[in-house]
Each structure stands twice: as structure tokens, then as C-alpha cells.
């Protein structure tokens, strides 16, 4: 039985830029470095989560969802952090059906984050 998905609402930003600026003392150079690091590490994790989800490889799905969740939290991406957390928790509970139910939100939020990162005012 799949529980109802508790998606973040529109009040939750894709990227919490003000939190990031505050956390890093307004240093946009550090934010640019963090963005570049995120963009190098996140896409492979994203791909392996989807592959693991599709192939039923729950241990890898959980491990990579946990890693991506941490990267998203560090970068100030609360929406994708929440979705990764739910995928991780469903996997830890052995509930692949619920994890798969998060797939559409995962794809949508990852795309929104990638677009948001390229549009963030780092200059």
C-alpha cells in the first residue's frame, strides 16, 4: 500500500539562495565552486538512483538517495532533499513500490534544480 506522497509545496524554493548566501557569508565565488561540485557529482547519483529503482536494486538506491540527499541539503535544495529522503526511507523499509511512486517527483525536482542552478545569480 503506497502512502500518500507528501510533496513540498510551492512555498518551498527549489534553491534557497538567501540561506546559501547567508551560510557562506555572501561569497558568490564559494557558491560557484559549490555549484560546480554539485553539477559534477549529482547527475551520476541521479542516474544510478533511477537505474536502481527500475532494476529493483534497493541497497544501491538507498545508498545513492542518501548521498544525493546530503548534497542537496548542502547546496540548499530543500525540495529535492525531501524527495531523496522519502526515496531513501521507502527503500530502507523495503517498500520499493513507494520509492517508485516518488520517481516522477524525483525527475521533476532534479530537472528544476539543474535549471535553477544555471539561473542562480552568482555574478
- Over range 92-105, report the average pLDDT: 95
Which residues contact residue 114 at a Cβ distance below 8 angstroms, ignoring those fewer than 6 apart? 39
Over 80: is that where the pLDDT of 53 sits? Answer: yes
- Give the dihedral of Cα atoms 85, 90, 93, 94; nearest 10 deg: -140
Residue 120 has pLDDT above 70, yes or no: no
Each domain of the chain, given as residue ranges in start order, spans 17-119
Share of the chain above pLDDT 90, in %: 55
Beta strands in 4-85 (DSSP E): none
Given a cut of 70, whether residue 4 has pLDDT beyond it is: no
Q: When comparing pLDDT for 34 and 104, which is higher?
A: 104
Q: How confident is the model at residue 2 (pLDDT cuts 50, 70, 90)?
A: very low
Residues 17-119, CATH architecture: Up-down Bundle (1.20)
Amino acid at each position: 500500500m503506497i502512502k500518500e506522497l507528501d510533496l513540498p509545496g510551492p512555498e518551498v524554493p527549489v534553491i534557497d539562495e538567501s540561506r546559501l548566501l547567508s551560510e557562506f557569508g555572501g561569497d558568490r565565488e564559494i557558491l560557484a565552486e559549490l555549484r560546480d561540485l554539485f553539477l559534477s557529482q549529482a547527475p551520476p547519483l541521479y542516474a544510478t538512483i533511477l537505474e536502481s529503482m527500475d532494476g529493483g536494486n534497493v541497497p544501491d538506491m538507498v545508498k545513492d538517495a542518501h548521498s544525493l540527499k546530503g548534497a542537496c541539503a548542502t547546496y540548499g535544495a530543500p525540495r529535492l532533499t525531501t524527495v531523496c529522503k522519502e526515496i531513501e526511507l521507502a527503500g530502507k523499509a523495503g517498500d520499493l513500490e513507494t520509492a517508485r511512486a516518488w520517481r516522477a517527483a524525483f525527475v521533476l525536482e532534479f530537472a528544476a534544480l539543474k535549471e535553477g542552478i544555471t539561473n542562480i545569480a552568482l555574478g
